[in-house]
Structure 1
Amino acid sequence: MFSLAPPALVAAALPGQPRAAETAFPFDIGHFFGVQIWQLTPLSVLAVICLALYLWGAIALWRRGKRWGVATTISFVLGCVVWFLATGAAVTRFADELVSVLLFQQLTLMVVAPPLLLIGSPGRLLLTAVPRTGLGRPVLRMALAGYRSPVSRVLLHPAVAIIVPLLAFPALYFSDAISWVLAQPGGHGLLLGSFLLLGIIAGAPLWSRDPLPRTPSYVVRLAEVFIEIQIHAIFGLILLLSTGPRFSWYWEDPEAWGISRGFDHAIGGGLVWSYGELPLLIVLIVILSKWRNRDLRTARHREAEEDAALEQYNAYLAAQGRVDER
């Protein structure tokens, strides 16, 4: 699933954590991402359905001779593959035993899969590929109704992008609500579905290439990313420094894995710090780059307007000079 070298080095330096000889998982990466058809979850099947519908739309546009970006298509395909593996591979079963595996699923569905899906512009593909007659007509009407809905504007409010990581990390885990949810029938699947939905809602203003009913300014986007980075950092640090169990569902040591529960928490904290922060750092760079490019375009446009106004004024002065000479 992930390399143990960095978390092991960090955890070995912490008090109460097992040494390197005690921290090797008994399974390799193939055990984590192995897929068996009869063990697929509804959420992983939904990923396959979304991928099939997207490819149907893209191929339909190409057959009509209309342009649709190959890179855009690849991004959505990768997003669906990541979504499928995070919810349909063997890693889903191991999340019942290790909080670090659950955090891996959560981070994948909240900060890795949503950017790939959003860059794929599924909304624009829907409006372009779906026919405007027959069954396509009510589909387009529902899509436009959702776009114009007040609910969409509320969900895309900048405050929501801050509330989402607060609820999904500190509130969910430190209140031990995570244990209650996992104890419910189907709770794990609903939890993963919620993570993906929340990740898409929070990531839409930052990554979406589709038109949105509300588009925040670059200053607001930077503030959102900065605050989310701080939430991840504090949450990951608390887990990284844990020396014992914190959640009732994950109370006993996972003896089958040969590690302590505190080390399990430390791995989860290391994932939040590294795996969860990298996409946020990337979006931070992208926002700054887009902001700079917009300012350069604005400056060039303003300069062209000023040059045109100056030329017009000079022409006016020249005309006045000729009148005076007469």
Structure 2
Amino acid sequence: MDDQMPMDTMDHGMTGPMWMPSDPPTLSGLLAWQPQPYAILPILCAVLAAFYAIGLVRLRRRGIRWPLGRTVSWYVGVAMVLWVTATGIEAYGMAVFSVHMFQHMILTMLAPVFLLMGAPVTLVLRALPAGRGRRGAPRRGLVRFLHSPVAKAASHPAFTLSAFVFSLYGIYLTPLFDILMSSVWGHYLMLLHFLLTGIVFFGPVLMVDPWPGNRSHLLRMMLMMAGLPFHAFFAIAVMMSESPIVGFFASPPPAWDIDVMDDQLWAGGLTWVFGDVPTLVVMIVLAVLWMRSDARLARRSDRKAERDGDAELNAYNAYLQRLADHEAVAARSGRTVQGPFRTR
């Protein structure tokens, strides 16, 4: 390969056929398709895209409509994962901290939101056959898993927030990053961890799919805001550090003429931006979902009132009338009212 060179295993501790471009990072180089030693994540993206398409076909055959926005959101999320793992972003991210952090933020803070808004679990539940026989076993197994202690623990705020914080402080401020980057599979494991961390964190917040628990919109907003300070403090720590916080990125190729500390400043800035902007977007989404939920509840109440002649409202009005009559009688007799039907 004329335009590529093997990664310096002495400086970066990498083993295996990891390759990166020989030229310094450019916009065209970052966007260009780059061959990978193992196409693990591109294959994963292809599988995710194919399974979603199969689910759509099954729903169409059964005459079930599926929102176009969910489909678009899912494939945008898949495209984002493919973009940062099969192009120059993946290649240059092996040597430049700011490029790697951009990849991390896309995998954790942006792609999961689009994937979750695609409601893949709901699609699977609707596409799989129901029933008590063998055909319905996969669907029953998925439902049991969603109600299992493991799923409940994985969606608990204590776990989701801890995983989110660990993906920053536990990886970059400890030797764990260098350990993971010492092998090809460790690198891919870390990228998958970033993606899964974002899904686990944003899943119970968005609650588009049937995640365990029944949290109010206000509590979900509070959970979303809880991760913001940790994100901001980490970004500040990166930008204010007077030495490279990750030894792996301390020695980029000399021919690239990259100022390590200036690049680290960019990395911290990207971390800060990707903490604020996605949080704002998710908060807007939550507000929209909240309003839609209230609108659905109002429509449901209206339909119930039409069916039963507004029996609930009539019963409540009758209760208020009885209370007023009771208070009037108590006032005439000179007694003090202590409760709806208790006087003294």
Q: TM-score range by the shorter chain?
A: 0.7 to 0.9
1:138 positional shift: 4.0
1:56 positional shift: 1.5
1:187 alignment counterpart: 186
2:146 alignment counterpart: 147
Unaligned runs of 5+ in 1: 1-24, 318-326
Aligned match for 1:50, one of 32, 45, 48: 48
Cα contact 2:101–2:267 (8 A) shared by 1: yes
Q: Of Structure 1 and Structure 2, which has the larger fraction of its residues in helix?
A: 1
User: Are positions 1:221 and 2:225 aligned together?
Assistant: no
Segment of structure 1 superposing worse, 202-211 or 291-300? 291-300
Q: CA RMSD in A?
A: 3.2
1:261-276 maps to which residues of 2 (within 5 A)?
261-276=260-275
TM-score, normalising length: structure 1: 0.79
Name the SS of the counterpart of 1:183 in structure 2: coil
Q: Aligned partners of 2:154, 2:160: CA distance in 1, in Å?
A: 9
Percent of residue pairs bearing the same amino acid type: 29
Q: Aligned partners of 1:209, 1:63: CA distance in 2, in Å?
A: 24
Segment of structure 1 superposing worse, 63-72 or 279-288? 279-288
Unaligned runs of 5+ in 2: 1-22, 303-309, 324-344
Aligned match for 1:123, one of 121, 124, 130: 121
1:276-295 maps to which residues of 2 (within 5 A)?
276-288=275-287, 290-291=289-290
Q: Aligned partners of 1:275, 1:263: CA distance in 2, in Å?
A: 19
Q: Aligned partners of 2:135, 2:242: CA distance in 1, in Å?
A: 56
- CA gap 1:305/1:272 in 2 versus in 1, 3 angstroms: farther
Q: Aligned partners of 1:54, 1:295: CA distance in 2, in Å?
A: 30
Structure number with the bigger relative contact order (C-alpha 8 A, sep ≥ 6) is: 1
Q: What amino acid is aligned across from residue 51 of structure 1 in structure 2?
A: A
Segment of structure 1 superposing worse, 154-163 or 34-43? 34-43
Q: Aligned partners of 2:70, 2:296: CA distance in 1, in Å?
A: 25
1:243 positional shift: 3.6
User: Are positions 1:34 and 2:40 aligned together?
Assistant: no
1:66 positional shift: 1.4
TM-score, normalising length: structure 2: 0.75
- CA gap 1:297/1:288 in 2 versus in 1, 3 angstroms: same
1:288 positional shift: 4.4
Q: Aligned partners of 1:315, 1:93: CA distance in 2, in Å?
A: 75
Number of residue pairs aligned between Structure 1 and Structure 2? 293
The structure that has the greater radius of gyration is: 2
2:15 alignment counterpart: none
- CA gap 1:180/1:306 in 2 versus in 1, 3 angstroms: same
1:258 positional shift: 2.3
